Structure 1
Amino acid sequence: MSEELVVVSANQAAPEDVDAIFGTTDAGHCRCQRFKVAGWIWRDTTEDERIARLYQQTACGDPGAPATSGLVAYLDGEPVGWVAVEPRTAYPKLRGTRVPWLGRAEDKDDPGVWAVTCFVVRKGFRGRGLTYPLARAAVEHARRGGARAVEAYPMVVPPGKHITWGETHVGVRQVFEEAGFTEVTHPFPRRVVMRLDFP
């Protein structure tokens, strides 16, 4: 029997489902605050602060919320994955990060461009290719939200090269290629900027 994958906006997910996905290690410590927190690094905040901020940003448990910061995937009813996607302007740290801007004259304050910044797949469910449907769902979520384009900043994984799960929280190039993104720039050997413009 095939497994059923359902992806919903995070405000439709219960807080305990989000907690189950993030867990207590890896992304569980950051809580998707890397590009959002003030200060030099996300560890300048406490874990309780980051958890509270994620709850606020997702509006999880509030289906009527006007906005959310990501999507939650369920596999046969079990919460298994997360993808962060919202207007690029929601990520203050992206403004000062070199990856998105090297070789580009892009308007950093353009609210019509959304960004996919993070994937989390729950331990025990990794290696099943769940980031692929999450990326496709992020595209559709951005489109429905009024985006005119959506960007991503994935890692390049050379054939035969092993990298840790934590390094690929931004996604890998192939995932975005299969979701319809094309490469815009290749600012560093291991990082690319990819984009999908909507008609």
Structure 2
Amino acid sequence: MTFSVRPATSFEDVATMVGPKKKRDASVCWCLSHRVDAKTNRSLVGAQRGEYVRALTEREVAPGVLAYDGDVVVGWAAVAPRAELPYARSRTIPHVDDLPVWSVWCFLVRPGHRGRGIAHALLDGAVTFARDHGAPAIEGYPVDNQGRKMNLTMAYVGTRALFEGAGFTLARDTTSVAGGIPRVIMRRKL
């Protein structure tokens, strides 16, 4: 299947993917927990979270990419320079070197659309997005589940196999886990 992947400049489409499903001012993640520091994350409650994301979609550089099946948004991937993220100071996901890499760290595919290759399209789109914005390399911090089934809630970080399929290579092990599964640093030079 072919999906189009575009920069996440539509707030409504981003909200469809990462916002609350029922009550618009609920304090759900909005994909902010790894984008902002912990203090800021805790301070943004209710509708403030959505307004923060709205501002991100209005910046010159979008906060990620969206996948579409025709005109229907079906997927999201967060991507940004690592220096702008809490990952820049992470104790559990260390720096490989001083290269100003970009990070891709969150994948969401809408229910009813999973198993169709959308995560692969999103990762390819994130790579293109980072390259188009001058990134020398891009990293991801997926779980190394060694092909075993895992909780879909914790699969938002991606899997090592997903990244390997997109030309990434293992750059380093980490002390981080997601859903009890070790995470690794996967990198692709651009």
TM-score, length-normalised on structure 1?
0.80
Structure 1 position 7, deviation (Å): 0.7
The answer to whether the 8 Å contact 2:104/2:126 transfers is: yes
Call closer, same or farther: CA 1:105–1:22 in 2, change over 3 Å: closer
Equivalence for 1:7: 5
Call closer, same or farther: CA 1:105–1:136 in 2, change over 3 Å: closer
Equivalence for 1:119: 107
2:111 is the alignment partner of 1:83: no
Equivalence for 2:169: 182
Which one of the candidate residues 85, 104, 120 is aligned to 1:132?
Answer: 120
Q: CA RMSD in A?
A: 2.2
Q: Give the Cα separation in 2 of the matches to 1:99 and 1:173.
A: 17
Call closer, same or farther: CA 1:30–1:68 in 2, change over 3 Å: same
Q: Give the Cα separation in 2 of the matches to 1:195 and 1:75.
A: 28
Identity %: 33
Call closer, same or farther: CA 1:24–1:123 in 2, change over 3 Å: farther
Aligned length: 180
What are the within-5 Å matches in structure 2 for residues 1-199 of structure 1? Answer: 4-11=2-9, 13=10, 15-24=11-20, 29-39=28-38, 42-59=41-58, 66-91=60-85, 93-101=86-94, 106-107=97-98, 112-159=100-147, 161-188=148-175, 190-198=182-190
* AA aligned opposite 2:144: V
TM-score, length-normalised on structure 2?
0.84
Q: Give the Cα separation in 1 of the matches to 2:36 and 2:154.
A: 19
Structure 1 position 41, deviation (Å): 8.6
Structure 1 unaligned residues grouped into runs of 5+:
60-64
Equivalence for 1:62: none
Q: Deviations over 1:90-145 (max 9, x none)?
A: 21x213323331xx5623xx5x3111011111222223221111101111111111
